[in-house]
Structure 1
Amino acid sequence: MGDPAGIGPEITVGALNKKELYDVANPVVIGHGDMLEKMLPVMKADLTINRITTVDEAMFEYGTIDVIHLDNLNVAEVKMGTVQAQCGKAAFEYIRHAVQLANDKKVDALATTPINKESLKAAEVPYIGHTEMLADLTKTEDPLTMFEVHSMRIFFLTRHLSLKDAIDQMTKERVHDYLLRCDKALEKLGVKERRFAVAGLNPHSGENGLFGREEMDEITPGIELAKKDGINAVGPVPADSVFHHALNGRYDAVLSLYHDQGHIAAKMTDFERTISITNGLPFLRTSVDHGTAFDIAGKGIASTVSMEECIKLAAKYAPHFVTA
């Protein structure tokens, strides 16, 4: 359900007010039944909240939201759109419980809603976000993030670093390793043909050293090492065209070199339908790619499109996901 003071509860209710989601998935919420019930009139949803303790008790029927109710929240004291320790603690406990269900094979995938870093800190939860929590709770090293929007998939060679520090990590060894990992990730998702393009760093991918040597010295050698290991990869392809080609089917995925390079491409394509998949975990996890939106939380105006797409994408890949 995410942070109770954010838009997580309302977009959960709004998404599960769409019958088509029940045509592709059996959704069950991990959260607080009273908080979801509070959002029913906000979202103008004529639904029933079914509080349960195990997945086996779920009805999985449109018109009813099955929620594994964790009684860990004083709903009367929740102030929408504000940082609160009880909300950070509750959000973490929802995630921890969901991970346990996934590890026990009680659910096929997790679709996560936003949590708030400041609320986690106020609750003294020792994680900065979902990825760090999931990595630690599952003992996974360096989870691999992938965005999917329409027909385009994007992986990221580096994440939250300054651009200067990110460039320092663009070594041939890292490019090689990540292409191997990206190929394995798509294989686990059931993608048979896997054609990769690596984005260029400099304008026109450096023009053979005219605009920078990173492509010549590190990126191209890394691609060549991956090709020797059987990876179908090309590049570096200039970043001003590679995402367009991927969107139009030339490549099955793009390896973006730094955070904003891939984020801008995905969100300009369709902000609300950009969904994040965390690869490398022992289960499938999809996530909305937006925050708790404290400024509009509880007002019923947050779009539910990203949450709907998040659930649909989990349902799309769950039957093909390989855990071994």
Structure 2
Amino acid sequence: MKLFVINIIFLLSVYQIAVAQEMMLEAHEGDVFNAWQVDFQNHGQYILKFPDSFTAFSVLISVSGHFDEISVTVSGKAVGLIPFGEDEVMFSDSLQVSDIVFTGKAINEITISFSQNIGRIFIHTYHAGKVYLPEYHLEENFSGIDCSKPLMVDQDQWRSGLTPPIVKPTYTLTAHIVIHHSAGSNTSVNHLEDVRNIYLYHTKTLGWDDIGYNFLIARDGTIYSGRDGQGWMEDDFVKGAHFCGKNTNTMGICLLGEYSVSLPTPQALFSLKKLILWKCHKDQLNPLDSALHPPGSDTALLLPVICGHRDGCSTECPGTAAYVLLPSLRSEVDS
């Protein structure tokens, strides 16, 4: 365990320096992932300065704590901490995890405030960086709607330099296509790094074998292959981790961005429609149909074949603005 002393400043109401504490590095992987332990003696406002920059982070607190008692400011902008809602978290039975927060640019400082004495927290920082990708003629995805498989960025390309998954994936047929949003920035242009940071968040913080989604779609329409079939199976048949512990017979697609109010871009929606059309044609799924999920369960829900994350889980995902588009999406795919 490596100990780092960093500058953590407690601000009184008159903004005087009151204490300086130590931040302990619990785990790390090169420059791309760090897990920090921070102990606070009092409630109040703190400036946390880190020795390395990062482009995304998450916060872990005791299961007895409440994220609504914590305020975080990044580059002068307040960001909300949302508890992660899935059931597959394997990091610790005694901790609850926030959703990943994208910073929009490389930073090494955040301001954090507590209305109650929070004690110990953990902060995980991610800086996956960019990698070279071969030239993709993405205009081919936008040249027309047909049933062919759209162009995608392969995992071996976007995951370059990161630790690949080693556990053999689990096969599952698809009965439901589940739409998500990443709840990240709608102004980010670093889509590749966002995907890489999500991979780190899912594998390092949540303890999953691989990224949770089967596919991710950037705001420019780029489609990224998600869960890796590793040569054992096609990626769309890999059982993911995205539907509150009920992932059998599902395929998850994540739209990068936050769509509670704002609409997904036309490029992202076009790629989403093309991806779903290919899947429905290949697997002979009726986009207007519904089916019970999970099948055979006493608590099964009747869900549309093309559904939103919120249809089966306690969440607002994929955001209201995206969710209300699903009926028209089903009709367009059917036609």
Q: Which TM-score band (shorter chain)? A: under 0.3
Bigger strand share: 2
What TM-score results when the alignment is normalised by the length of structure 2?
A: 0.27
Bigger helix share: 1
